[in-house]
């Protein structure tokens, strides 16, 4: 239903909320603090770094001789900013790049590494100076779990199997010896292993059946060495291609009682991924500017972002039919906004700015992730630095924290917390956007270590939301609120100005067990409080 929004006409997204007098929406919700649900896997706050544009080179890696403070060539400001997010994992080396990458080109003395053409991203020459050792050193500095994607599209099973041996084997095996000859004595721990990327597209243009066979084959030879146990992730669907997921579920392996036994009697893969980007259009060639958009375009972006809930549920439903005990994980290993590149930048480098709109897209995604914690085990923002919906932008030696970064920071208390039911009572504020009902209020909650954390997003561009949360099942203590907003949806941070900042949300109060707060127009907020028995 279209609400009685007096400000519903087309206005520019740069209109300041402070200058509008549209009445606030009222939202009443119930939080059931004594009904903890599934654990929100910390890995849904995961990241993605591809050899693409300035993500690796200039983003993570500046080289040992750089004036930018670094450790072994890795940018320390970037490392610290991501450590502050409690970054749980990092996916590498792609993306499309992964299916062109031959890992042996990226080990050994840097000045002797062969070069290659990065055919997907700008057709530039890649010098392989950032390879396996550099990536693993980065993960160690970050305290993040590595998620390595094998080359299925143009590599070989042997190449992939030997990479695992190189990374994780301790004894005198040929690959362990090779690793030692390159200066690393001990094996690394590699928990996450990807079997290719987008095999229906840049990863080989395959049918689901053809890929399922390859995934079983690669999975079979993706061995556990010593006490390193791989969680093998089969490359999955684009968006709502549920048929792809179904074919992968049918081919999974033994413990679901389908297909044949893999090499050592376990499943050939333990999880299935999918990708979903927030792309508005009108066409792929014209996806719109990241920073210049009007209110109509803003709402269309939010309609696309909100689709994530339905798409996760769609894949989860297919998986439930084969795996009612939810032993197989669903992984969204690429998500985020995708706009036109910044004017004057290489179209193959996918560099876009990041506004308050991007932050609200992130808020909506995380609420959906939390609600599907029983199936979704991992998600990876695309991408971490300087590419697409980046957390961080580098500009020479300057580092910019984007609005999206702040959502990850404000939400980090949800990592490994138990999800809590938070239900809007009565009418959720909505707005009609090109015939679609967009809920303009979104929220989710969790509990961990005696604290409750609620995330709230007000997507309405003009109207505040007066929110009342009836907290049941615990005695809430003093609430603390944090707010991310700005004068305009198009506001974004640069090396010179940072208008999108986190500040205290002053207007949070507790009346008995009712939490009351005002969410300004176009804002994201968190409220936390101690919860006694
Ligand atoms: O993130 C950019 C690209 O988007 C990835 O390389 C690919 O997997 C997807 O199409």
Q: Model confidence over 17-44: pLDDT tens digits?
A: 444 468 999 999 999 999 999 999 999 9
Catalytic residue, candidates 198, 297, 307, 309: 198
Atom 9 of ligand 1: nearest residue by CA position: 95
CB 442 within 8 A of CB 370: no
For residue 95, whether the previous peptide bond is cis, meaning omega lies within 30 degrees of 0, is yes
pLDDT value at residue 507:
86
95 lines ligand 1 (CB under 6 A): yes
CB 29 within 8 A of CB 467: yes
pLDDT value at residue 268:
86
Q: How far is the CA of 306 from the centre of ligand 1 (A)?
A: 20
Ligand 1 atom closest to the Cα of residue 383 is: 1
Within its chain, how far is the Cα of 184 from the centroid? 30
Q: What is the mean pLDDT of the chain?
A: 93
Q: What pLDDT band is residue 217 in, cutting at 50, 70 and 90? A: very high
Atom 4 of ligand 1: nearest residue by CA position: 95
Q: In testing the pocket of ligand 1, which one of 97, 198, 331, 389 has its CB within 8 Å of the most ligand atoms?
A: 198
CB 393 within 8 A of CB 402: yes
Joined tokens for residue 479: 């609430």
Q: How many CA atoms lie less than 13 Å away from 372 in the CB half-sphere?
A: 28
Atom 7 of ligand 1: nearest residue by CA position: 95
Joined tokens for residue 271: 């999880």
* Residue 162 annotated among the catalytic residues of the structure: no
pLDDT value at residue 393:
98
pTM for the model: 0.94
197 lines ligand 1 (CB under 6 A): yes
Q: How many CA atoms lie less than 13 Å away from 341 in the CB half-sphere?
A: 15
Q: How far is the CA of 151 from the centre of ligand 1 (A)?
A: 14
In this structure, how many other beta carbons lie within 10 angstroms of the beta carbon of residue 217? Answer: 17
Atom 2 of ligand 1: nearest residue by CA position: 95
User: What mean pLDDT comes out for the span 116-134?
Assistant: 97
pLDDT value at residue 266:
57
Q: In testing the pocket of ligand 1, which one of 48, 94, 352 has its CB within 8 Å of the most ligand atoms?
A: 94
50 lines ligand 1 (CB under 6 A): yes
pLDDT value at residue 2:
27
Res 1 pLDDT > 50: no
Joined tokens for residue 357: 């709109």
User: What mean pLDDT comes out for the span 444-449?
Assistant: 98
Residue whose entry in the numeric block shows the structure tokens 């179904």 = 246
382 lines ligand 1 (CB under 6 A): yes
Distance, CA of 284 to CA of 277 (rounded, Å): 12
Q: In testing the pocket of ligand 1, which one of 202, 336, 386 has its CB within 8 Å of the most ligand atoms?
A: 202
93 lines ligand 1 (CB under 6 A): no
pLDDT value at residue 281:
83
In tens, the pLDDT along 451-476 reads 999 999 999 999 999 999 999 999 99
* Residue 466 annotated among the catalytic residues of the structure: no
In tens, the pLDDT along 299-343 reads 999 999 999 999 999 999 999 999 999 999 999 999 999 999 999
199 lines ligand 1 (CB under 6 A): no
Element (H, E) at 180: helix 174-181
Cα-based angle 385, 386, 387 (whole degrees, multiple of 5): 95
What φ, ψ does residue 220 adopt, rounded to 5°?
Answer: -60, -40
The percentage of residues in the chain with a pLDDT greater than 70, rounded to a whole number, is: 93
Q: Is 259 left (phi over 0), alpha (psi -120 to 50) or beta?
A: left
Q: How far is the CA of 92 from the centre of ligand 1 (A)?
A: 12
pLDDT value at residue 259:
42
Residue whose entry in the numeric block shows the structure tokens 């009612």 = 324
Res 7 pLDDT > 90: no
In tens, the pLDDT along 342-372 reads 999 999 999 999 999 999 999 999 999 999 9
CA-CA-CA-CA torsion for 58, 62, 67, 70, nearest 10 degrees?
A: 120
Which residue, 127, 125, 121, 82, is CA-closest to 106? 127
Distance, CA of 171 to CA of 279 (rounded, Å): 48
Which residue, 465, 346, 393, 512, is CA-closest to 27? 465
Ligand 1 atom closest to the Cα of residue 350 is: 2
Q: How far is the CA of 272 from the centre of ligand 1 (A)?
A: 17
pLDDT value at residue 254:
61
Q: What pLDDT band is residue 288 in, cutting at 50, 70 and 90? A: very high
367 lines ligand 1 (CB under 6 A): no
108 lines ligand 1 (CB under 6 A): no
Q: In testing the pocket of ligand 1, which one of 95, 147, 149, 153 has its CB within 8 Å of the most ligand atoms?
A: 95
In tens, the pLDDT along 165-199 reads 999 999 999 999 999 999 999 999 999 999 999 99
In tens, the pLDDT along 66-86 reads 999 999 999 999 999 999 999
CA-CA-CA-CA torsion for 179, 77, 387, 521, nearest 10 degrees?
A: 140
pLDDT value at residue 21:
62
User: What mean pLDDT comes out for the span 197-218?
Assistant: 96
334 lines ligand 1 (CB under 6 A): yes
Ligand 1 atom closest to the Cα of residue 198 is: 8
Distance, CA of 141 to CA of 524 (rounded, Å): 30
């Amino acid at each position: 239903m279209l609400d009685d929004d007096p400000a519903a006409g087309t206005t520019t997204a740069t209109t300041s909320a402070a200058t509008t007098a549209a009445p606030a929406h009222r939202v009443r919700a119930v939080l059931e603090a004594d009904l903890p649900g599934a654990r929100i896997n910390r890995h849904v706050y995961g990241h993605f770094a591809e050899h693409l544009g300035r993500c690796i080179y200039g983003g993570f890696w500046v080289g040992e001789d750089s004036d930018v403070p670094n450790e072994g060539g890795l940018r320390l400001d970037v490392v610290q900013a991501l450590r502050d997010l409690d970054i749980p994992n990092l996916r590498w080396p792609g993306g499309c790049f992964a299916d062109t990458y031959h890992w042996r080109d990226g080990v050994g003395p840097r000045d002797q590494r062969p070069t290659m053409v990065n055919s997907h991203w700008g057709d530039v020459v890649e010098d392989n100076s950032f390879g396996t050792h550099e990536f693993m050193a980065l993960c160690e500095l970050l305290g993040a779990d590595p998620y390595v994607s094998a080359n299925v599209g143009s590599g070989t099973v042997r190449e992939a199997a030997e990479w695992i041996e190189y990374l994780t084997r301790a004894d005198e095996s040929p690959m362990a010896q090779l690793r030692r000859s390159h200066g690393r004595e001990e094996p690394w721990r590699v928990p996450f292993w990807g079997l290719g990327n987008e095999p229906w597209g840049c990863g080989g243009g395959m049918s689901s059946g053809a890929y399922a066979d390859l995934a079983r084959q690669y999975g079979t030879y993706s061995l556990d060495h010593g006490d390193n146990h791989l969680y093998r992730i089969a490359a999955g669907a684009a968006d709502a291609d549920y048929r792809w997921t179904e074919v992968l579920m049918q081919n999974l392996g033994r413990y679901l009682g389908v297909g044949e036994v893999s090499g050592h009697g376990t499943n050939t893969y333990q999880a299935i991924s999918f990708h979903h980007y927030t792309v508005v259009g009108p066409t792929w060639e014209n996806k719109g500017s990241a920073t210049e958009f009007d209110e109509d375009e803003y709402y269309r972006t939010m309609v696309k972002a909100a689709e994530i809930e339905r798409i996760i549920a769609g894949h989860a439903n297919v998986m439930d039919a084969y795996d009612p005990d939810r032993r197989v994980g669903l992984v969204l290993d690429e998500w985020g906004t995708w706009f036109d590149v910044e004017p004057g930048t290489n179209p193959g480098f996918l560099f876009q700015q990041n506004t308050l709109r991007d932050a609200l897209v992130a808020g909506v995604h995380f609420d959906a992730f939390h609600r599907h914690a029983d199936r979704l085990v991992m998600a990876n923002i695309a991408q971490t630095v300087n590419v697409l919906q980046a957390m961080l932008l580098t500009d020479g030696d300057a580092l910019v924290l984007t609005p999206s970064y702040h959502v990850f920071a404000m939400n980090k208390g949800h990592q490994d917390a138990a999800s809590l039911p938070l239900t809007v009572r009565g009418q959720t504020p909505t707005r009609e956007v090109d015939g679609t009902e967009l809920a303009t209020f979104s929220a989710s909650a969790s509990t961990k270590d005696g604290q409750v954390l609620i995330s709230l997003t007000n997507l309405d561009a003009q109207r505040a939301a007066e929110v009342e949360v009836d907290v049941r099942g615990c005695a809430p203590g003093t609430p603390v609120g944090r707010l991310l907003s700005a004068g305009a949806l198009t506001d974004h941070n640069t090396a010179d100005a940072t208008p999108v900042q986190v500040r205290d949300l002053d207007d949070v109060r507790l009346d008995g067990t009712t939490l009351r707060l005002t969410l300004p127009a176009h804002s994201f907020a968190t409220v936390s409080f101690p919860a006694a028995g």
